[in-house]
Amino acid sequence: MKCIFVDIEQCELEFLLFEDEVDDKMKKKFKKLGFPNIWIHYPSDASDALADLGSGIFQQGDFQCSSFSVIEPTADASFEINYNEERNSISLKLEGTFFSGNDSEVYEDDGETEVMLSQSAGIIQVITLNNDKGKPIKKPKDEWGMSTRIEALAADLEYNNKGYRVNFNLFTKPGMYQEGDIVV
């Protein structure tokens, strides 16, 4: 078993919220935000490139992307997340080492993990929000009693494969990461 970590260069990103999902009750929830769910996407094939749209925004083309999650900050990381009512957005600052996952498949020689570990840049397209206890912040229930997570989008309010570029370094350590420690 190995655990995967990602060192993220300092970045400050703004994610937009849908107007119809933010009422006074939701604004109250946004006062106690915790670490969000984050996925960093990168081209699966090294010959594919994300299109630079300017201002740190990139877009995936008509090709497959792979991704990895950024699960939680370690003691060597810092993050700040805030709701901006005026802009109806979430600002997120990241820097340092974050836990990305425990992976027994790192030992398999399929080449996919090696490609992932060789990446140094990718995009964050969407984040889902959690409260300060790590529980998902959800939209109000619909007419069928279902509730989905609140999402905040990069660049604009369209699901169009646009995202903010982040620079990083992925690495592994032997053992399993649990509650802030590596257990061998």
pLDDT at position 106 is 47
Residue 179 lies in a domain: no
Q: What is the DSSP letter of 88?
A: T
- The residue-averaged pLDDT of 129-142 equals 92
- Per the CB < 8 A criterion, the answer to whether 128 and 139 are in contact is no
Residue 85 lies in a domain: yes
Residue 138 CB contacts under 8 Å (≥ 6 apart), including other chains: 147, 148, 149, 150
Residue 165 lies in a domain: yes
Instruction: Report the Cα 107 to chain-centroid distance in Å.
Output: 25
Residue 112 lies in a domain: yes
Across the strands, what pairs with 42? 66
Residue 182 lies in a domain: no
Domain count of the fold of the chain? 1
- Does pLDDT of 33 surpass 60? yes
Residue 183 lies in a domain: no
pTM: 0.90
User: 155-181, pLDDT tens digit by residue?
Assistant: 999 999 999 999 999 999 998 898 888
User: Mean pLDDT in the chain?
Assistant: 92
User: 98-127, pLDDT tens digit by residue?
Assistant: 999 987 654 455 666 777 888 899 999 999
pLDDT at position 109 is 53
pLDDT at position 156 is 93
- Residue whose token pair is 């369209």: 158
The region of weakest confidence among 26-40, 45-59, 73-87, 170-184 is 170-184
Label residue 34 exposed, middle or buried (CB < 10 Å: 0-12, 13-18, 19+).
middle
pLDDT at position 89 is 97
- The residue-averaged pLDDT of 55-63 equals 94
Residue 184 lies in a domain: no
- Does pLDDT of 130 surpass 60? yes
- Per the CB < 8 A criterion, the answer to whether 68 and 12 are in contact is no
Domain that holds residue 53: 2-174
- Does pLDDT of 19 surpass 50? yes
Residue 181 lies in a domain: no
- The residue-averaged pLDDT of 6-33 equals 95
The Cα–Cα gap between 179 and 97 comes to: 15
